[in-house]
Structure 1
Amino acid sequence: MTDDFPQRIVCLTEEPTEVLYALGEERRIVGISGFTVRPPRARKEKPKVSAFTSARIGEILKLEPDLAIGFSDIQADIARELIKAGVEVWISNHRSVAGILAYIRRLGAMVGASARAEAYARQAEAHLGEVRALAAALPRRPKVYFEEWDEPIITGIRWVAELIGVAGGEDAFPELARQPLAKRRILADGGEVVRRAPDIILGSWCGKRFRPEKVAARPGWAAIPAVRDGELHEVKSPIILQPGPAALFDGLAELHRIIAAWAHRAPG
C-alpha cells in the first residue's frame, strides 16, 4: 500500500515539528526551524534550514521537500520563493486557542493521522478544561499585562490573552489582543499600562531574556501594583509565543502557576 501523503516535509516554524512528533509522524520531517526546541530530540535529528523571517532556500531545495509548512504573513517572502521553485507550501495564519486546536486536526489530516490528531486535540481540550476549573476556584482574579517585546512595546497576541483568561486572569489589553499583526499591538504610550494598573506583568521577549528591572524602571511604572509587589515574571517564549501545543500545555500551566500564586497571596 502506497502512502499518498507528504513524505518530505520542511517545517519553517516550531509548531508543525512539535505536532508531527506528537503524532508519531516525525519520519516525514526533513528540515526544521533553527528556533525549534520541542521536542529536544528534533534539534539532534533534523537539519535546521530556517529562522522565522529568513530561510536557506537553496538548502531547503536540496532536501527535495514535497511540502513546506510555515506560519503567518511574516513568512510570506519565504513562501513566495519556495512556491516559485515549485514547492507546495502551507502557511497557517491562526491566532486563537480554537485556531491552534483546529491546526492540530488539519495537520494530522494532511499526513493521514486524523484519528491520532483528534485524540491529541481532545487531550489539549481536556487540559484547558482542567485549568479552567482550577481557575474558577481561585479567590480572586488578577489583571495581567503581557509584553511580547520591549522596544517598541508590543502587547500580547490573541491566544496568549485567551490563555490568560483560562488560567484565571484578565488580560489588560483585550482590544489590542484582537489585532493579528504585531505592528497593530505596538503601545505608543507606556503610560497606558500605568493607567490600567495590572496586578501581574508577564514578559516574553522573543529571542532575548526578559529584564524585569528594566521594566520596573520605566518612567511612572513604580506606581503599577505589579511593580510595587514584585509581580514581574518571565514566561519563556518557546512555551507561549508559538501557536501550537506548547502554549496549550506548558504555557498555560506556567500562566496558571503564576496567577494562582498571586491569587493565594494576602492582598498588599
Structure 2
Amino acid sequence: MTACGPQRIVCLTEEPTEVLYALGEQHRIVGISGFTVRPPRARREKPKVSAFTSAKIDEILALEPNLAIGFSDIQADIARALVAAGVEVWISNHRSVEGILDYIRRLGALVGASDGAEAYARRAEAHIAAVRAAAAALPRRPRVYFEEWDEPIIVGIRWVAELIRIAGGEDVFPECAAAPLARDRILADTGEVVRRAPDIIIGSWCGKRFRPERVAARPGWSAIPAVRDGELHEIKSPIILQPGPAALFDGLDALHALIARWAQRRA
C-alpha cells in the first residue's frame, strides 16, 4: 500500500514535530526547529535547520522536502523563500485552544493518520474538561497577569488567556489576548498592571529565564497583590507558548497547579 501524504517534512516550529511523533509519523520528518525540545528524542534524531524568525534555506533544500510546516506571520519570510524555491509550505495561524485541537486533526489528516489524530485530540479535550472541573471546585479565582516578554512588555496570547480561565483564574488583559499579533499586545503603560491588581504574576519570557526580582522592582509594582505576596512564578515557554499539545497538557497543568495552590492558601 502506498503511503499517504508528504513523506519528507521540515517542521519550522515545535508543534508539528510533537504532533507527528505522538501519531507515530516521525519517519516523515527530515528537519526540525532548533528550539524543539518535545519530544526530547527529536533533537537527537533530526537535523536542526531553523530558528523561529530565520532558517537555513540551503540546508532545508538539501533535505529535498515536499512540505514545510510553520506558524504565523513571523515566519512569512521563511515561507516566501521556500515557496520561491518550489517547496510546498503550510503556515498555520491558529491562536486559540479550539484552534490547537483543530490543528492536531488537520495535521493528522494531512499525513493519513486521521484516526490517531482524532484520538489524540479527544484525549486533549478530556484533559481540558478534567482541569476545568477541578478549577470549578476552587474556593476562589485569582486575577492572573501573564507576561511573555519584558522588553517591551508583551502580555499573553489568546490560547494562554483561555488556558488561564480553564485552569481557574481570570486573565487581567482579556482585550489584549484577542489581538493576534505580538505588536498589538505590547503594554505601553505598565501602570495599567498596577491598576488591574493581579493576584498572580506568571512570566514566560521566550528564550530567556524569567527574573521575578526585576519584575517586582518596576516602579509602583510593589503595590500589586502578587508582588506583595510573593506570587511571581515562571512557566517555561516550550510548554505554554507553542500552540500545540504541550500547552493543552503540561502548560495547562502548570497553570492549574499555581492557581490551585493560591486558592487553597486563601480559602
Q: Taking structure 2 as the reference length, what is the TM-score of the superposition? A: 0.99
Q: Could you say which residue in structure 1 is the equivalent of 2:176?
A: 176
Letter matched to residue 176 of structure 1? C
1:198 matched to 2:198? The reply is: yes
Residue 4 of structure 1, CA deviation = 3.5
1:231 matched to 2:231? The reply is: yes
Letter matched to residue 151 of structure 1? E
Q: Distance in 2 between matches of 1:172 and 1:210?
A: 19
Residue 187 of structure 1, CA deviation = 0.3
Q: Could you say which residue in structure 2 is the equivalent of 1:45?
A: 45
1:152 matched to 2:152? The reply is: yes
Q: Could you say which residue in structure 1 is the equivalent of 2:69?
A: 69
Q: Distance in 2 between matches of 1:6 and 1:183?
A: 34
Q: Distance in 2 between matches of 1:228 and 1:66?
A: 54
* Deviating 4+ runs (over 4 angstroms): none
Letter matched to residue 42 of structure 2? A
Q: Distance in 2 between matches of 1:105 and 1:43?
A: 24
Letter matched to residue 144 of structure 1? V
Q: Distance in 1 between matches of 2:252 and 2:266?
A: 23
Q: Could you say which residue in structure 2 is the equivalent of 1:139?
A: 139
Q: Distance in 1 between matches of 2:26 and 2:3?
A: 15
Letter matched to residue 116 of structure 2? R
Letter matched to residue 43 of structure 2? R
How many pairs were matched up? 267
| Runs of 5+ consecutive residues of structure 2 not aligned to the other structure | none
Aligned CA RMSD, in angstroms, stands at 0.6
Partner SS for 2:120: helix
1:5 matched to 2:5? The reply is: yes
Partner SS for 2:146: strand
Q: Distance in 2 between matches of 1:218 and 1:140?
A: 27
Once the two structures are superposed, the pairs formed by residues 162-173 of structure 1 within 5 Å of their partners are 162-173=162-173
User: Cα deviations across residues 58-78 of structure 1 (Å, max 9, x unaligned)?
Assistant: 000000000000000000000
Q: Distance in 2 between matches of 1:266 and 1:60?
A: 53
User: Cα deviations across residues 86-144 of structure 1 (Å, max 9, x unaligned)?
Assistant: 00000000000000000000000000000000000000000000000000000000000
Q: Could you say which residue in structure 2 is the equivalent of 1:36?
A: 36
Once the two structures are superposed, the pairs formed by residues 6-21 of structure 1 within 5 Å of their partners are 6-21=6-21
Residue 266 of structure 1, CA deviation = 2.9
Partner SS for 2:91: strand
Q: Distance in 2 between matches of 1:215 and 1:141?
A: 23
Q: Distance in 2 between matches of 1:151 and 1:220?
A: 18
Q: Distance in 1 between matches of 2:93 and 2:159?
A: 12
Q: Distance in 2 between matches of 1:73 and 1:253?
A: 28
Letter matched to residue 72 of structure 2? S
| Runs of 5+ consecutive residues of structure 1 not aligned to the other structure | none
Q: Distance in 2 between matches of 1:266 and 1:225?
A: 13
Q: Could you say which residue in structure 2 is the equivalent of 1:98?
A: 98
Residue 158 of structure 1, CA deviation = 0.1
Partner SS for 1:6: coil
Partner SS for 2:68: strand
Partner SS for 1:18: helix
Residue 3 of structure 1, CA deviation = 1.6
Q: Taking structure 1 as the reference length, what is the TM-score of the superposition? A: 0.99
Q: Could you say which residue in structure 2 is the equivalent of 1:248?
A: 248
Partner SS for 1:148: strand
Partner SS for 1:78: helix
Letter matched to residue 2 of structure 2? T
Q: Distance in 1 between matches of 2:194 and 2:42?
A: 42
Q: Distance in 2 between matches of 1:84 and 1:151?
A: 34
Q: Distance in 1 between matches of 2:56 and 2:167?
A: 39
Q: Distance in 1 between matches of 2:3 and 2:252?
A: 36
Letter matched to residue 211 of structure 2? R
